[in-house]
Chains A and B, each alone.
Chain A
Amino acid sequence: MGKQAKIEIGVGILVLFSIISLFVIAMKVSNFADMAQDRPTYTLKAHFDNIGGLKVRAPVKLSGVVIGRVASIGVDKSNYRALVTMKIDKAYQLPLDTSASILTSGLLGDQYIGLEPGGDDQYLADEDEIEMTQSALVLENLIGQLMVKLTDSGDKQ
């Protein structure tokens, strides 16, 4: 085996190792595989009074199963409410009276949108809006309500 052949084998080992590493990082460690299989989606909109800590690309869940992602978050200038657009997998058709609420996974986890299907026999189409929404729970508001309640009951006694 010549010197040149040895050098080429050495470089081959380097390239092979890095390809294996890239493959592992792409498929097993990161979400590259999920992005590659771009499944067809349709868009739904929803207005919220308060989105809390919701972020773009946050999951949209139906009974805990991820069926879509938050595509964009903005403010509707006509009514000053938060406008959230979601991309939902085409495989999942949702009834017209589906409601959406912003929930938190675990005590300190990330926020996501939970969908609750209703009983309507018509389905939401592309660019439709989910009418019934429930905002994120804001801890300060909760504490404020609790304080009001406590002082109220204190006054009555």
Chain B
Amino acid sequence: MLKALQQLGAWGINLTRSAGRLGLFLLSLLPALPYAIWRVSLLVKQTFNVGTLSLPIIMTAGLFVGMVLGLQGYNVLVDYNSEEAVGTMTALSLLRELGPVVAALLFVGRAGSALTAEIGLMRSTEQLSALEMMAVDPLKFIYAPRFMAVLITLPLLTLIFIALGIWGGWLVAVGWLGVDDGAFWSQMHAHVDWREDVVNGMIKSVAFALLIAVVALFQGSETAPTSEGVSYATTRTVVHGSLGVLGLDFILTALMFN
């Protein structure tokens, strides 16, 4: 009984401590962020690492998600003789939910985990301390470019995901199942609103990017300097990042679409 109470207390103290460390981390990271824009070459390299290298998985996933949506949507809508609406359905579900969320989940797994592992290993091999010894601030030269790169690339990848998804839906619906091409596009055009659907989806994507950047970099900076620590930190990034994205998505959806 007392043991359980002690555990609860330890858990509470740990939680508060890590919340405090997160706050301090963000507070010290914030003034370092402008350096990422000042040192463009570092930012470009990180954009390549987290963005361009994620392109294949994002493009493949987007295409297949769109194709599945087209197929499932067609199967349901054909019963009501309104299979032209499959374009509207594919576009709306991709723009509002699936695009931002699935792209963010893939991004956590592909880029977030890599960032954590990289920074964690830098910590365990004391490269960060070495930088500090040379009077180079790791916040400005390691963390800031990575943070900005995540913030920039995830919305871009989301756009590509959505566009390819809609194309995938078109391939299945028009190319394979014989939905009318003109009706497919005109129905979509009539029902998708720029402000309501596209901009809201992109706001979601930026929010997810912020969350993923904070989680991945903070977990990297928290890594215990052992090989086991790196593996734990990487796992935590993926788990916390994915759950955070899903939770945040519900909150944003409730705020935006009601």
Residues of chain A whose beta carbon lies under 8 Å from any beta carbon of chain B: 4, 7-8, 10-11, 13-15, 17-18, 20-22, 24-26, 28-32, 35, 57
Contact = CB atoms under 8 A, between A and B. Distances in A.
B159 A28 contact: no
Contacts of B55: 13-14, 17
A57 B197 CA distance: 15
Given A18-B156, A25-B166, 9 more contacts: A13-B55, A14-B52, A17-B156, A18-B157, A24-B166, A25-B95, A25-B163, A29-B188, A57-B193
* Nearest 4 CB-CB pairings of A with B: A21-B163, A10-B52, A18-B156, A32-B194
In this complex, the member of B47, B160, B194 whose beta carbon has the largest number of chain A beta carbons within 10 angstroms is: B194
B51 A29 contact: no
Interface string B179-201: 00000010011101111011000
Given A11-B44, A18-B156, A18-B160, A28 B189 contact: yes
A19 to B, nearest CB: 9
B99 to A, nearest CB: 10
Interface in B13-52: 41, 44-45, 47-48, 51-52
B44 A31 contact: no
Q: How large is the interface on B (under 10, 10 to 19, 20 to 34, 35 or more residues)?
A: 20 to 34
B213 interface: no
Contacts of A8: 44
A14 B47 contact: yes
Contacts of A31: 189-190, 192-194
A7 B48 contact: yes
Contacts of A29: 91, 95, 166, 188-189, 192, 198
Indicate the member of A14, A15, A22, A28 with the most B CB atoms within 10 Å: A14
B217 interface: no
A25 B162 contact: yes
Contact of A30 (B41, B160, B198): B198
19 contacts: A4-B41, A8-B44, A10-B48, A10-B53, A11-B44, A11-B48, A11-B51, A11-B52, A13-B52, A13-B55, A14-B47, A14-B52, A14-B157, A21-B159, A25-B198, A28-B185, A28-B188, A30-B197, A35-B194
A25 B192 CA distance: 10
B156 A30 contact: no
A30 B44 contact: no
A32 B197 CA distance: 11
A30 B196 CA distance: 10
B153 interface: yes
Contacts of A11: 44, 47-48, 51-52
Contacts of A22: 159
Contacts of B91: 29
A134 to B, nearest CB: 25
B106 to A, nearest CB: 15
Contact of B156 (A10, A15, A28, A35): A15
A4 B157 CA distance: 22
A32 B44 CA distance: 30
A17 B62 CA distance: 13
A62 B160 CA distance: 39
Nearest to B43: A11
Contacts of A7: 44-45, 48
Nearest to B156: A18
A15 B192 CA distance: 24
Contacts of A25: 95, 159, 162-163, 166, 198
B156 A14 contact: yes
Given A14-B47, A14-B52, A18-B156, A30 B163 contact: no
Given A10-B52, A25-B198, A30 B193 contact: yes
A17 B44 CA distance: 16
A57 B162 CA distance: 25
Nearest to B197: A30
